Amino acid sequence: NAGVTQTPKFRVLKTGQSMTLLCAQDMNHEYMYWYRQDPGMGLRLIHYSVGEGTTAKGEVPDGYNVSRLKKQNFLLGLESAAPSQTSVYFCASSYSLTGQGTEAFFGQGTRLTVV
Amino acid sequence: SQKIEQNSEALNIQEGKTATLTCNYTNYSPAYLQWYRQDPGRGPVFLLLIRENEKEKRKERLKVTFDTTLKQSLFHITASQPADSATYLCALYSFRDDKIIFGKGTRLHILP
């Protein structure tokens, strides 16, 4: 029972490089989210998706792009990494936002350092 | 502006006592509020949800209250144990914003 799986777990990028973080869930959840967590800032929502083929901006979307081509996968892209994007990134999924099944299941996180 | 506030300072509680954590919010009308636990190096894990029309929810040693007049939720751990030491996050959902927003979390230390 894998739940939410993020790859990679760690990554070091040089300023200006690009990369994609992959999130996969096996719970048939409609909703998926990308958060970043920084010391003293808590979890901040970057982008989210309410279903396959849909994406929406969260609190801090600048510098990131996302895609949800398949229901089980949610990709987070950094086109030109900046040191300010050094953070721990968490992917999460939930069955719904209202009604039953609103609890979010989180991945183990990706620690990204941009030098 | 909209805010979710949790105690930024760590909370130290003696083992066996009740730990109480606070989550205050402003300029939100949450449909529900959730509490999560996060251990170092791990993702948050869901604990409890309480809806706007509920005053109190319990799960084993955990209790959550929700006061929409005070705009506050309290999270209690009774008979606390060192294994309860972690960071606890509150999160709320409002229909207007249609997303879940997290507080910064409170670090709890249960002292043996």
Give A30-75 pLDDT, tens digit per residue: 999 999 999 888 899 999 999 999 999 999 999 999 999 999 999 9
Among residues B16, B17, B32, which one has the least CA distance to residue B73?
B32
Q: Do A59 and B42 touch (CB under 8 A)?
A: no
User: Would you say A58 and A44 are in contact if contact means Cβ atoms under 8 Å apart?
Assistant: yes
Chain B residue with CA closest to A100: the answer is B49
**A109: which chain B residues are within 8 Å (Cβ-Cβ)?**
41-43
Work out the pLDDT band at B89, boundaries 50, 70, 90.
very high
Q: Give me the pLDDT at residue B95, please.
A: 85
Q: Residues A8, A13, A15, A19: is their CA dihedral positive or negative?
A: negative
Q: Give me the pLDDT at residue A1, please.
A: 64
Q: Which two tokens stand for residue B20?
A: 């109480």
Mean pLDDT of all residues in B54-76: 96
Work out the pLDDT band at A9, boundaries 50, 70, 90.
very high
Q: Give me the pLDDT at residue B12, please.
A: 96
Q: Give me the pLDDT at residue B76, please.
A: 98
Please report the number of interchain residue pairs, chain A to chain B, with beta-carbon separation below 8 angstroms.
58
Contacts of residue A54, defined as CB under 8 A and 6 or more positions apart, other chains included, come to A68
CA distance A105 to A97: 13
